[in-house]
Amino acid sequence: MSVLLLTHRACLHHDPGPHHPECPDRLRSVLKALDAGEFVDLIRDQAPLATVEQLTRVHPENYVSAILAIRPEPDETVALDGDTVMSWGSAEAALRAAGASIAAVDAVMKGEFRRAFCATRPPGHHCEPARPMGFCLFANAAIAARHAQAVHGARRVAIVDFDVHHGNGTQACFEADGSIFYGSSHQWPLYPGTGDAAEHGVGNILNVPLPPGADGEAFRAAWVDHIIPAVEAFAPDLLVISAGFDAHAADPLAQLRVREVDFAYLTEALCALADRCCEGRVVSMLEGGYDLEALGRSTAAHVRALMRA
C-alpha cells in the first residue's frame, strides 16, 4: 500500500525572518529530497485548512482566535516570544500544518493508507494548549490524536517523538489523560528544559533524556529498550510520530550524533511496532531539523523506510 504525503505551498509562506533557523528553506529542502525518482510512488495531496472545531479539541477557543487574528503586513513580523515569530503567511501555514495532520489521520484511520507523512511547517510539539512556544503555533500531533479519538473512535493513541528537543507542548496536553501515551527521546540538558525521566504524567509519559554527544547506538537503545516496549504495552489504536531530525550530528541546535541510518532504523522499528499494535497505522509529521542538507537526507531516509516497512 502506498504512503500518503501531505504538504502545501502555504507552509513556505510562514517566514520568521532572516537568520531564523525555522526557515522556509527547510521545507524546500525536504520537498526537493522527496522529489527524487525513488519517491514516485508516494501519493501526494494538498493539506487542507484545519477548522476551529478541530483545533479547539486541544486549544482554548480564545487562543485559536488570538493566533488567527495575528496577520502582519507582508514586510512585518510579530514576535510571540524570543523565538516564535509570525509573518503574514504564518496563520495559514499553521492551519495547513494542523490540517495535514487531520487529513493524515483520516486517510490512515479509514484504511486508505497504512502510513502518512506531513511535510509541513511550522512544527507543533512545543506548543502548549494556551501558549505558542519554540517555533510552534498549534500542537499538530496532539490535534491529530484528538481527531482520531473524536471522529474515528480510537480509544488510545500513542505519540512518539524523536526530535532532539523534548515535546513539552505535547506532554502538557496529555499529562493528565491516560488515553494518550507520549514517549520522547531528547538531548538533556537542552531547550525547553522539560523531559526529565521523573516526569510520568499519570503513567502515560515516558521521557528518555540523552546526554550531549550521545550517538546512534544510544539513540536506538532508548527506543528499543524503553519507548517501543512501553508503546507495545499501551496497545494504541494509532501511532503518531513527531519526526524531528535535529538529533542529526550535523544539526546546529543540538549535540547528538545520530545519522540518517539511525532514523531509518527507528522508522522501520516503529512501523513494525504499529503492525503489531494497530494494523500498521502510522501518521508522521515533520517537527525540527535545522541543517538543510541533513534535514533533506534524513527526511528521505524516514519516508523511504515508511514506504519499505
The Cα 193–Cα 18 span in angstroms is: 26
Reference 255, options 304, 215, 224; nearest CA is: 215
291 binds Zn ion, rule: CB under 5 A: no
Shortest separation between residue 118's beta carbon and Zn ion, angstroms: 16
Nearest residue to Zn ion, by Cβ distance, number only:
288
- The verdict on 262 binding Zn ion (CB under 5 A) reads no
Q: Which residues pair with 44 in a beta bridge?
A: 5
SS3 content of the chain, % helix, strand, coil (to 5): 40, 20, 40
Residue with smaller CB distance to Zn ion, 195 or 280: 195
For the record, the C-alpha cell of 251 comes out as 544539526
For cell 502538557, the residue is 172
Strand order in the sheet with 3-7: 43-46, 3-7, 115-118, 282-286, 238-243, 157-161, 180-187, 205-210
Output the smallest distance, CB 201 to Zn ion, in A.
21
- Catalytic one among 8, 14, 126, 248? 126
Question: Are 119 and 30 a contacting pair, CB within 8 Å?
Answer: yes
- Per-residue DSSP letter, 185: E
**244 makes contact with Zn ion (CB under 5 A):** yes
CB of 206 to Zn ion, least distance (A): 18
Tell me the window of 4-12, 79-87, 222-230, 245-253 that interacts with Zn ion (CB under 5 A).
245-253
Stretch that binds Zn ion, among 20-28, 78-86, 161-169, 189-197 (CB under 5 A): 161-169
Q: Does 92 bind Zn ion (CB under 5 A)?
A: no
β 78-79/238-243 pair status: unpaired
- 290 phi, psi to nearest 5 deg: -125, 0
The alpha carbon torsion through 10, 14, 19, 20 (nearest 10 deg) reads -120
Q: Has 200 been annotated as catalytic?
A: no
Asked whether position 248 contacts Zn ion by CB under 5 A, the answer is no
Indicate which single residue of 288, 291, 294, 305 sits in contact with Zn ion (rule: CB under 5 A).
288
Site string for Zn ion, 118-157 (x = CB under 5 A): ----------------------------------------
Query: How many chain residues bind Zn ion (CB under 5 A)?
Result: 5
User: Which segments of the chain are extended strands (E)?
Assistant: 3-7, 43-46, 78-79, 85-86, 115-118, 157-161, 180-187, 205-210, 238-243, 282-286
Which residue, 234 or 245, has its beta carbon nearer to Zn ion?
245
Nearer to Zn ion among residue 109 and residue 247 (C-beta) = 247
Cα–Cα distance measured from residue 168 to residue 162, given in angstroms and rounded to the nearest whole number: 13
According to CB under 5 A, which one of 15, 106, 246, 260 is a site residue for Zn ion?
Answer: 246
CB of 24 to Zn ion, least distance (A): 17
Tell me how far CA of residue 298 lies from CA of 10, 90, 249, 250, 266, in angstroms: 23, 25, 11, 11, 12
Rounded least distance, CB 246 to Zn ion, Å: 4
Which of residues 114 and 165 has its CB atom nearest to Zn ion in the complex? 165
Q: How far is the CB of 74 from Zn ion (least distance, A)?
A: 28
| Region from 39-47, 107-115, 238-246, 275-283 binding Zn ion, contact rule CB under 5 A | 238-246
Catalytic sites, residue numbers: 126
Which parts of this chain interact with Zn ion (CB under 5 A)?
A: 163, 165, 244, 246, 288
